[in-house]
Structure 1
Amino acid sequence: MKRTALLRDVPPCAAPDGISEDVLAVSQIVEHDGKSILNIDLFYDGVLRGRYFADIKEKCHNANVDGKWYRCSLNNVARVCKGKETLKGYDYYFDEDWKYASNADADRAWEYLGNRIDTFEYKTNQVKYERAYQRKRQRIDSIMNAIPCIPDGVEAWLDEEIFPGDYLFFKRDKRTGYTCTACRAKSWRKKPWKHGEMTTCPKCGAEVKAYSRRNEIMKREPVVILQPHGEGWLERQCLAECRWSSAGKEIKIYEEIRVIIGKSKCYGTEYYGTRRFADETEQDWWDRNGANKHFAPSYLYPDNLQETLPCGGLEHSGLDVIAKEKVKLNINRFILRYNDQPWLEYLIKAGLYRLAADIANSYYVPELICPYGSSPKGTLQLDGNRVNRLKQLNGGLNTLGWLQYEEESEFDGRRIKISQESLEYLDAKKVRLEDCRMILQELGSVNRMVNYLKKQKESPRTVVQTWRDYLRMARQEGLDVTDDIVRLPKDLEARHDQLVERINARRDEERRMKEKEKYAYLDARIRERLTDVKRYFWEDDTYMIVPAGRCEELVEEGRALHHCVGANDFYMTAMADGRSWILFLRRKSELDKPYYTIEINMYTDEIKQYYSAYDRQPDKEVIRKVLDKFRRSLRKTQRIPA
């Protein structure tokens, strides 16, 4: 549509008679440049304020108000004519600000468009968005078509380094049939192998692992491939899959993310695969991450790094060492951070691969790292001996934290030593220093703490949490936490639970004393209703139901069964008001032991709820039948009138 020529060549419509609060639209169909065009002129307060043009063939529309062009809806153009703001995305909530000056104007527009004006605009926008999408699709496809293929050596590298080895699948029977993934031979022999045994294939002689529990094994690993591309370079985040089966060993490479990076830069434009498990030839690409794909700690393909790393100024970054040592690292995050964190090179070249990976995989620079250090010792804030210990373990951030704690203790006079055995345990079990500080404050020895953790049945992290809570409660209760009998209990969980019960009992007692007057008042009102609730007393051969008679009984019941019946005065007040009553269900064989707590509506005799310990319902079906039997017996007695 040649909108400027239309505005110049097409004379405006005559102004309508009269003045309206709405914008009045006058339509005409004009011939321009060999096409029929719908022109709608907009008058407000008797003055021509805007002109709207629609082309049914090109499926487009434009409007001009006070010399400025708009591509919005006719209703928004009318709002501009009235000095209002345009509506975006929610205009259907508002009344229209315009109307046709006459039925003839409306009929003329309908005849040209074959529909309402808003329907035409909606379809026009759909066409516009589709055209824009196709242009963008073609642009991205042309960029992706220029991307080089994955290097030929990647599959061999995956086969040898990431997914090494082959399997011999066998099945025990009268004779043992087997399949080798190395040579794909199928045969049999009399004597079976042991599951998991390393052996050689009788046919090809390849070293294989005997496997009898499945006839197929699949493993996946994330890998990153860096390649030169034009004047810049390329980062490709892939997912490698290896499948061992009777058909042999098959490796596939699914590409998920591509980053096109300019020369000497460490960041670029990201494109995301829209399909799952699609290789470089099958994948569809887009510049939005609709499939929620992410860069992950990955193995780095090493063979072409010598020519690729200089493209981003990374030739001294240590990425070649990371690739050679097969360290899993968030390569994308490392590349983005390297210029601001050149000390990562120190860690890699010092052999601290796992520590470098932990830092690269985290979002921020950890507090344990001094970014201004000029050597590994300065960066790690450790002396040479402890740096060597960290290197021997290939420790990460967790191990670094423990070694820094040991060094700090030398300066404050505590001189806490951590044996290499303890350090290995803390590293292997991922026990964090921050979780153990309270324990160490009382114990004063990491080695003793580790020895105690080794003796426990639960996982170390669970034990640390329980131990920390136990020591905190023991200190609050005035116990001597410097005494080994207290701070190193034989049965930690039992001692922890005893303290919990002790504290809860004391708090209940304090609450009872505090609310003694309230309980006395409620107890007096409850006693007035005891004659009415005698009918709730019930028993059969196995069970007995006893109505509660005092507030204290509810508190004791709640503490014994660990539920909320006595946590506050809600149920006590309901009993005092005669709205509902609390009943205790007991086994006749254990009358002194709480079993179920029941709430019953005193107006309708309906069982409102019934729960046992920890708000659970053991033997629910049995108890439900018992309660049905109890309710049937209530029908024989007179209900309390509402």
Structure 2
Amino acid sequence: MNVPKKVKAMPWPEEWKSQTNQDVIVTLDWPVVDHERLMVVTFRRNTGKRRYGTPPGPDVRLVCSKKRNRAAMEYRGGSRPKKRADLEEAVGAMCVSVGTCYPEITPEDEAALAKWLGAKQTMNHMLPELSRWVEDAMEQEREAEARARGELEDDEVTRLCPDELPEGLVEYIRNTMLPQDRVLLYKKGNVRGTCFACGETVYARGQRFRQGTVAKCPDCGAMVVAYLESSDRYAVDYVQDLVTVQKGKDGATLFLRQWHLCRDKSAKWESVEDYLEEIARYAVRGNRVAKWQIEKKEAWCMNTYRYRLKDWERVKNVTEVYDGTYQFFLPPNWREILQGTSLEYCDLGGYVRERELARREADHRGNPVRFLMDWARYPAVEKLWKARYTELIHERMTGQWRTKKHSITWTARKIQDAVHLPLRLLRLKETAKWTTKDIAKLAELRELATAGVIQEREAVELFTAGVEIDNVRQALGHATVHKVVKYVEKLVAEEEAKKDAEEAEAKKNRMPYYRGRVYSPETYRDYLADCVRLHLNLDDREVLFPADLEAAHQRTIAQVKYQENKAAWKKFEKQARKLAAMAWERDGLLIRPARTPGELTAEGKALHHCVGGYADRMAAGETVILFIRKAEEPDTPFYTLEYRNGVVVQCRTSHNATYEQDESVKNFVDAWVERATKKDKERKKAATAA
């Protein structure tokens, strides 16, 4: 029921503010709409009462029609906190409860409310009775709307579902499921047990059975997982879940029935039917689906507890299979079962075959239950599957499509409408190799072409080259797409060649080597972002396509850091100028202070130590960092020295190796310290004399 326009036009009473302890004030109005007198109940919260925690929601106006047995809600300000909320939820948003709140209502309004509800006994001024009436009215409205849409009703789970087991199910369990059961249940003492691979009572030889470990059956030699017979484990009580398909008694409804195959602790399996425990039913009729369960489970204290329900209970999430994994039995007459239903043309057999092939390759994708449900609800599933865009369907069945879920419109009836791409572009790849990520990527490139950033042929070139648009977005418009693609391919080839050489060297030295993935495209993306931030001219080919990307990126990183920490850098450089007199050269070696924080970062990266973190301390004058170089290689890192209060704190080279291992460097440092100390004394003496 919708709120009538006449009621919407009614002015709201002023907000209620009282110093009393009452929570809400309740008032009644009786407008006539379409020859029916409606009851309008207005709940206004007490704004003068102090509240803590979550701020209360807006005032509520309840519209009730006794003739149609319907109710509707309206909120002050036009807000709608929850679609079709009942009275308890609506008033609960005001931080009160209909059963325990302290309302203010006139005796006349309370008497009128009791008469309208036909209630003889008053509880909390008739508010709980009113809440129950509203809840029943809204539930009846939901049921009526569901019937009008053709939704499956709850009684159909038992009325239309077949009573007998599907033909061939028991044989499938004996021939397929039981031979795959690799469990050994042992008794206390860890010596005697039952192997379900061979069905025999066995005794441990040598080492005893241990909980959850893989053991070799002493009799048949099969590799089995051992469990204590009395342990609380799913594998102890159940073999596996099983799902199959059956036609309903009306001939138009299709049921998917799910069972637990409970474990026969004796491993005899004389009557398989006695160990089947049905737990869930899924139904499909037309494009409507439903799911019921008669078992539920709860996780508590690291364990999962299962319990049976008194009756079948409807579940909202229809495509989530209870317990997750399951075996699917495809009856030999599956085409006959689907005939006459909305799934008559569903390629269930083809999907199950692909699922079985994937399971043999240790790829556990495939969900026939969701496949059937989605085939009935979404026309695009049928179109894409029959056109052999199988990977798109598999991604939907396993949930991988959610990362790019808006790329495909599953309700569309044409492929080009579903993927938002013309058919000519879908010929760029084999149909079975298209992924949701591919669809999203090509759609984004096509949007750039539509906006005039690139041409469509350039978008195709970017897509076929496999270049991620985010990695080259900043370069578009400054060079042709062909040149950008070629540059990225060159970067990738150089990095791959470098990794090949490193791997060959590691094999030569019999050292482990982790190849890892290629990072140069992402490095190029970050470099371009730095160029934009620094307002560099990307139309300059040397800037857009640097010959040494790594070196160029390090320069832009340093410049960005400089821009972000300009004041700190100026302080560092001022300190470096004061220390310039500490530079010295002798015996083919030279020493000088670090001039910029960028030099410290580069030094630490080249020699694999942490000197890059000393920039703040040097800028504050707490310490001095100096570089030792060979005179003929003044720009090549050699040793790094920390000097504080006239003492060498540390002097290290690559990977933190100390300078004491190189006698020439040690002698040079000792001579420099002696000279620096002498100069310090002379400077202090001159300062004292002055």
Scaled to the shorter chain, the TM-score interval is: 0.3 to 0.5
TM-score (norm 1): 0.44
